[in-house]
Amino acid sequence: MRVVLVDAGGTNIGSVRYALQRLGADAELTADAESIRSADKVILPGVGAAGPGMARLRELALTEVIRSLTQPVLGVCLGMQLLCEHSAEGDTDCLGVVPASVRRFDETPERCVPHMGWNRLSPVAEHPLLRHLQAGDWTYFVHSYAVPVGSYTLASSDYGGAFSAVIAHGNFHGMQFHPERSARVGARLLENFLEL
């Protein structure tokens, strides 16, 4: 099985790659369109802002490549948000393969933004990506923007209201948290993706 990590400049690429190696998958880091198209699994990691993230994908001529993929694709953190239609962060048009718009969390005196730290998952749909996931399992988040709950939501989390923590739409999947930092639960979810 060939797994590729899209080299879109995300700062979490090394840790995602190491997490995959622990599962026995030696993922190739690439920005080559043909390598991405021919992979069995594609992972789009990302840390940072939507505007620069999309600018990097356009600069590499990868937007249409990613949109046209038919194998399982996983977006992680910013990578998940980039799969959506639009992000309020910088008023950015994204890849548009998941019918959702990304919104900023509301900041209050009791709730700071970014949402950073451990939070619980609540499964809301049956899906192979969630195999062995238990309601209340903990994962690690760092983000200021979130995907609202919708028909694509597999698991939600709560930060002043429910938001999508795991999504799927066709062959496109996303995890808002960092599976590579989420201990046993994150490893299990990455393994589930590799088994799709």
Residue-wise pLDDT for 82-112, tens only, equals: 999 999 999 999 999 999 999 999 999 999 9
Q: Quick check: is 94 catalytic? A: no
Given 77, 89, 94, 191, the catalytic residue: 77
- CATH number given to 3-194: 3.40.50.880
Both tokens of 26, joined, read 């030696």
Q: What letter represents residue 74's amino acid?
A: L
Q: Quick check: is 178 catalytic? A: yes
Per-position DSSP letters for the chain, written without gaps between them: --EEEE-S--TTHHHHHHHHHHTT--PEEE--HHHHHH-SEEEE---S-HHHHHHHHHHTT-HHHHHT--S-EEEETHHHHHTEEEETTTTEE---SEEEEEEEPPPBTTB-SSEEEEEE-EE-S--GGGTT--TT-EEEEEESEEPPP-TTEEEEEESSSEEEEEEEETTEEEESS-GGGSHHHHHHHHHHHHT-
- Burial code (b: 16+ CB inside 10 Å, e: under 16) for 80-93 equals bbbbbebbebeebe
Question: pLDDT-derived band of residue 10, with 50, 70 and 90 as boundaries?
Answer: low
Summarize the confidence of residues 180-188 as an average pLDDT.
Answer: 96
Both tokens of 2, joined, read 């060939």
The structural domains of the chain, with segments of one domain joined by +, span 3-194
Both tokens of 196, joined, read 């799709």
Task: Pick 47 or 194 by higher pLDDT.
Answer: 194
pLDDT over 90 for what percent of the chain? 94
Given 169, 180, 191, 195, the catalytic residue: 180
Structural contact between residues 71 and 42, judged by C-beta atoms closer than 8 angstroms: yes
Summarize the confidence of residues 160-170 as an average pLDDT.
Answer: 98
pLDDT tens digit sequence for 23-42:
999 999 999 999 999 999 99
Supply the pLDDT for residue 48: 86
Q: Does residue 53 carry a pLDDT above 70? A: yes
Supply the pLDDT for residue 190: 97
Question: pLDDT-derived band of residue 159, with 50, 70 and 90 as boundaries?
Answer: very high
Given 84, 94, 178, 191, the catalytic residue: 178
> What average pLDDT is seen over the chain?
96
Q: Quick check: is 115 catalytic? A: no
